[in-house]
Every structure is written in structure tokens, then in C-alpha cells.
Amino acid sequence: MRGYLRSDGRKGIRNVVAVAYLVECARHVAHEIAAEFRGQPVHVIGFPGCYPNPYANRMMRQLCTHPNVGAVLLVSLGCEGFDKRGLREVIAESGRPVDLVGIQTTGGTRSTIRHGVDWVGGALTDLEETPRVPMTAADLVVGTICGGSDATSGLTANPAMGLAFDTLIAAGGRAIFEETGELIGLNQFMADRAETPALAREIVACMDKTEAYYRTLGHGSFAAGNADGGLTTIEEKSLGAYAKSGHSPIAGLLKPGDIPPRTGLYLLDVIPDGEVRFGFPNINDNAEIAELIACGSQIILFATGRGSVVGSAISPVIKVCANPQTFRRMSEDMDVDAGRVLEGRATLADVGAEIFALIEEVADGALTKSEELLHQEFILTYKSFTPIGPSCLPGVR
């Protein structure tokens, strides 16, 4: 494998130009700029809110300096509350080319699009000269999520991804699982896998917070589509979601934007801290994918039983289909047919090995199905988090 070496020592598997809007009023202009480069590595990300939010600011800083990002164009209306100059400074300090364009000062929609297209075109040309360096699985951070789950998800795709995680970690890589809202009831199971008693207590506290949050909302992370797919309870869904964590000890507890500091398995806490202020923790799968990417994930594993078509900006998404009927119906969107386990055509070990091999292929430049189809979904909302404490990352000084 070969990747793009960044100034912080991390290695990217893509060399994307991110066009980042800093308020919803600038989103259209950002998309029009990127539309001029359809099929090229130009991805749109952004924050729609007009009012500042520390979580969104941190997310955007982490995303714009992600190892898969080579250059950034910031698109501002001009009067939003986002700390645009601070973001530009962070990107510049990382050694990436960056430009900040303001629609109000540039003269409106058309003139800003022209400016942006010229800048992005130049950035793409410059990025062609970026050298690639050798990399191994130890350079990878891989995140995992499940969406459109059905009764097969916890039987095939999720446990197979867990086996791939075990292989990645044994090779020195880092793996992140999340969806704490779908792990309710598994508090002690995860605590028992924690590397230290202090980390175990942090995991239990995280899950207690999660349960209280959803109790306040009056709604669990269980959709009508899950029931239609044969899932019966949140407990059943939680057990299936848990299977994608594999069998390795849990090395740490992260919050969005925290980078796993060493090899191992990490749990990502996606439930905001404090009172319930901003509604549902993640309003769709791509909100969770964005948080995994902000934690440094160069690749996302996505398990689905009912079927999903989404990819993501910045990091490739490998879709692992749990249900053989869904795979046959939606094969152009799926990367791995885990459902063949149910039909006796493969074992979980076979599928886990296939997923790990595909991780390496994608890291070396092979396109996922969502990339071939130009899926670049992205969403970022308001949240609030307090920083993690030292007991969340045992062994790190």
C-alpha cells in the first residue's frame, strides 16, 4: 500500500480538495464550485448553522486537516458566526493549501463561483505532484457503522466486520466502533473488555448517560424499518450492533474529533453531554460517519441488511450487505456479500478475511461502490461535548 504523508505523520489514502461552506447560505455556492469537477476528488463538506458551536468548530478543524484531505477552499457568506479565520489558520499550519472566499465581499454568487473554480482547479493541479509513500495496516484507522439494519445484520455483516477489526488490530491498526445509542444494555459486556478498571467505569458512565438521554427524548434508536426487517427489540438490535466490535480489548473511549493515539479498539461516544438541547444525537447515518471521519478514520465499514446507498465525503465507505436477497437486489451499491453465510456459501471467517483484504485494496487506491457512483453525502449538526479525561485513554501521557 502507498499513501499520502501529512505533516502530522498520518497517511491519507485519498488526496481530496474539500470545499467547505461555513453556513447554509454558502452551501449552494460551494456545491456549484464542486460541480465543475464532477468525477474528480473535490468533495463538499460544511456546517449549516449561523450561530457558533464549539463541537462544529472542532469537527470542521479535524475534517479539514484529515489525512485524506490535501487542500481546502473555505466558502463563507461573511456575516455568520463561524470562526472562519481560526479554521483557515489551523489548515495553513498543517501545510495544506487553503483559501477563504467571502460571498459578500467577492460580489455575489457568480463571481464567488468563478473564484472558487479557478482556485480548486489550481489546487488539483498542484496535488498531482503529492508524493505517495509506503504504508501498512498499522497506518490505518477504520470506523464502523450499521444502517438499514434487519434481522440478518447481527448474524452476518456485523460479526464479519468484527473479525476484520480483529485482524486490523493484530496488524497494528486502529478500529473505532460507535452507535452508543444502539448499545444500550451492553454496558457490562463492554466494561469487562476495558483495558483498565478506570476505563470500564468511564464506559459504564457513558452508557448510563446514553440511556438517560434517550429516556428524556422518549424514543430509542429503533426505527420502523428495523421492525419491518424482522428486528423485535432494541436489545436484539444492540446485540447485533455490538457484534461489529469484534473480540479485542477496548483500548479507549473517544468523543467526536478525538484521534485514537495507539493501536487497538476504541468506543466512540456520540451522545452529547449535559442536558438534552439539540434533539436526536445523530439524525441519520451520515452524521455518525462524519464523526468517525473526524476521529481520523480513512475508511468506513458500513453494514446493512435492508440496503443503503450512501457513501461519504472525505473517506471511502465499504458497504457490507448482511441479507443475500438485498445483495442480489442492490448489488451495484454493495461491496461485500456477507449474506452468503446464511446460504452456506461462506463462513464468517471467509467474509471477515474478504473485508480485511478489501480494506487494504481500498487503502491502496481501489474505489468502493459508493465512490464509483459519486456518493459524497455529508451532514453536520449542533452538539455539545465536554473533553474526555485521562482514564478514557489508558497508557497515554
Q: Are residues 122 and 201 in the same domain?
A: no
> What's the mean pLDDT in 294-314?
96
Note the pTM of the prediction, 2 decimals.
Answer: 0.95
From 86, 106, 133, the end of a domain falls on 133
CA 49-51-53 angle, to 5 degrees, is 85
**Are 231 and 306 contacting, i.e. CB atoms less than 8 angstroms apart?**
no
Average pLDDT in the 364-382 region? Answer: 97
**Where does residue 139 rank: exposed (0-12), middle (13-18), buried (19+ CB within 10 A)?**
buried
What pLDDT does residue 283 have? 87
Looking at residue 237, its pLDDT comes to: 63
Helices (H), 153-284: 157-170, 187-192, 197-217, 224-228, 234-243
**Pair (36, 149) in one structural domain:** no
3-state secondary structure 111-169: HHHHHHHHHHHHHHHHHCCCCCEECCHHHCEEEEEECCCCCCCCCCHHHHHHHHHHHHH
Per-residue burial over 18-53, b = 16 or more CB atoms within 10 Å of its CB, e = otherwise: bbbbbbebbbebbebbbeebeeebbbbbbbbbeeeb
- Count how many domains the chain has: 2
Question: Does the pLDDT of residue 225 top 70, yes or no?
Answer: no
pLDDT value of position 235: 65
Same domain, 217 and 241: yes
Is residue 227 very low, low, confident or very high in pLDDT (cuts 50, 70, 90)? low
Of 133, 167, 200, which one is at a domain's C-terminal end? 133
Task: Establish if 104 belongs to a structural domain.
Answer: yes
pLDDT greater than 70 at residue 290: yes
Q: What's residue 241's pLDDT?
A: 79
User: Which residues face 75 on adjacent strands?
Assistant: 21, 101
Alpha-carbon gap, residue 220 to 332, rounded angstroms: 32
Q: Are the beta carbons of 380 and 46 closer than 8 angstroms? A: yes
Strand partners of residue 141:
174
80-117 pLDDT, tens digit per residue, is: 999 999 999 999 999 999 999 999 999 999 999 999 99
Q: Answer yes or no: is 45 within a domain.
A: yes
Same domain, 174 and 241: yes
| Residues 126 and 222 placed together within one structural domain of the fold | no
- Backbone dihedral angles phi then psi of residue 40, each to the nearest 5 degrees: -105, 165
Q: What pLDDT band is residue 151 in, cutting at 50, 70 and 90?
A: confident
Return the pLDDT at 71: 98
pLDDT band at 39 (very low <50, low <70, confident <90, very high): very high
Residues 106 and 192 in one domain: no
361's grid cell: 485494496
The answer as to whether 384 is a domain residue is no
Residue 60, in any domain of the structure? yes
At 282 the pLDDT is: 86
> Are 293 and 63 within 8 A, CB to CB?
yes
Domain termination residue (choose one: 133, 148, 164):
133
Q: Report yes or no on 388 lying in a domain.
A: no
Q: Are residues 100 and 143 in the same domain?
A: no
User: What is the span of the domain harbouring residue 363?
Assistant: 137-376
Residue 35 belongs to domain with CATH number? 3.40.50.2300
- Give CA–CA dist 185/339, Å, rounded: 26
Query: What's the pLDDT score for residue 196?
Result: 97
What average pLDDT score do residues 219-240 get?
A: 62
What is the predicted pLDDT for the residue at 229?
Answer: 55
pLDDT digits (tens, 9 = 90+) for 323-339: 999 999 999 999 999 99
Per DSSP, the three-state class of 98 is strand
* Chain centroid offset of residue 256 CA: 10
222: in domain: yes
144 strand-pairing partners: 177, 301
221 pLDDT higher than 80: no
Whether 39 and 124 have beta carbons less than 8 Å apart is answered as: no
User: What confidence category does residue 197 fall into, taking pLDDT thresholds of 50, 70 and 90?
Assistant: very high
H/E element holding 231? Answer: none
Q: 286 and 246 in one domain?
A: yes
158, 108: one domain: no
One domain for residues 86 and 214: no
CA 112 to chain centre: 30
Could you tell me if 209 and 287 lie in one domain? Answer: yes
Judge whether residue 397 has pLDDT over 80: no
Cα distance between residue 161 and residue 354, in whole Å: 10
Q: Is 381 inside a domain boundary? A: no
State the average pLDDT over residues 350-372. Answer: 98
